[in-house]
Amino acid sequence: MKAKEWAKHNPGGEKRVIVTKELPGNVWLDILARADCRVEICTSTEILTEDEIKSSIGERCDGCIGQLTEPWGEELFGALKAAGAKAYSNYAVGYNNVDVESATGHGIPVGNTPGVLTETTAEMAVALTFAAARRVVEGDSLMRGGHYRGWLPGLLLGELLRGKTVGVIGAGRIGAAFARMMAEGHKMNVLYYDLYPSRALEEQIAAYGEFLKSIGEEPVSCRRAETVEELLGAADVVSLHTVLDDTTHHLINKERLAVMKQNAILVNTCRGQVIDEAALVAHCREHPNFRAGLDVFEDEPAMKPGLNELDNVVIVPHIGSATTWTREGMATLAASNVAGILSGYPAWQDSDISPFLGGNAPKAAPSIVNAKELGLQVYKSEEPEG
């Protein structure tokens, strides 16, 4: 196996931090350099194996920034602990690839990068929705293949979404942002399923509905479904924004696909394993008017056999968060997590992480998912005197 190449930044730094992939921008490097870290970055585009990561950790490592494509479990956190590491940050908002319990057992804080992916990922879900609804990829292929012979009344007929129902499974930050975009931007009614009611989402869309009524238009609505099946049966578009855990693995399976409308659109920008991909392939073959837009895949980067042959599926390579601002912001947060812990800073507890994206960041680690379990000190802003 060919050895992976590594680049070094701030070689005179006292603390050693490894980063398993090159990250966008330079702000994150400056953050680590100011924390007296020398940074070693894997420049290979291949996914590192567990053994390669252990080898890169070596005998001494103070912190690490890893990727969602890597299985961070007992072996790797044990290696980090043995090397004297005090911090790990996932370069992602999700951390289903991280055994947080194992990290906590070794006393290692685990960071993630929330808050900067919300609008970007929601926009990708919107893009996939309309690409599928209006058969954009099929049209592009038709043109590039030289098969367009002129306008026809029945050429690539798609779906008009205005006034229809969008179903959102998982009404957290990204799901709620997507719901608002579809309601306020495209006048769709929202039906959402979540373990907890999203009063803020309901109130915001209700307020927009009142505005539409005031100008003589049909109002939009928003309500919470009692079951996943209720949502699937009623929605013209279903967008997945749930976490991945034992309860959501293959949440969309053969039986639930059968509940959906035959001309529905299924969009996934969360985690590939939420859909039984083989069942989706079979369903799309059987129902050519059913469409899907996928940014993530069950066996990523591989796809289930037949998926890439389907004209009624839009597929993109996990680029939901791929805007320059977002990816650089993720790097900033990941670096701030590691630098903050190595500098002895407390954990930030506010859900608003925007102060870390400006020029005068708080002296805190912005997002440590196991801060409470580790008993980390909580950041408190300075109270003005008097």
Residues contacting 239, CB < 8 A, separation 6+: 125, 129, 166, 167, 168, 169, 175, 178, 267, 268, 269
* Ramachandran angles phi, psi of 325, nearest 5°: -60, -45
Give the list of residues 6+ apart from residue 359 with CB closer than 8 angstroms, or none. Answer: none
Rg (CA), the chain: 23
The label of the residue with tokens 């070794």 reads 106
286 CB burial (10 A radius; 0-12, 13-18, 19+): exposed
Under DSSP, is residue 182 helix (H, G, I), strand (E, B) or coil?
Answer: helix
The whole-angstrom separation of Cα 356 and Cα 359 is: 8
CA dihedral 336, 342, 345, 348 (to 10 degrees): 40
271 noted as active-site residue: yes
Q: Give the active site residue among 50, 138, 300, 373.
A: 300
* Cβ burial, residue 44 (10 Å; 0-12/13-18/19+): middle
Asked if 87 contacts 57 with a C-beta cutoff of 8 angstroms, the reply is no
Beta strand residue intervals within 10-155, DSSP E: 15-19, 37-42, 63-66, 87-90, 110-111
Give Dmax (Cα) for the chain: 77
Catalytic residue status for 106: no
- Is the previous residue joined to 301 through a cis bond, with omega within 30 degrees of 0? yes
180 among known catalytic residues: no
Helices 118-133 and 136-144, interaxial angle, to 10°?
A: 60
Is 97:69 a contact under the CB 8 Å cutoff?
yes
d(CA 103, CA 114): 19
Single out the catalytic residue among 271, 283, 291, 327.
271
Q: Which of 50, 119, 318, 373 is catalytic?
A: 318
CB 335 within 8 A of CB 116: no
Distance CA 250, CA 270 (A): 13
Catalytic residues: 271, 300, 318
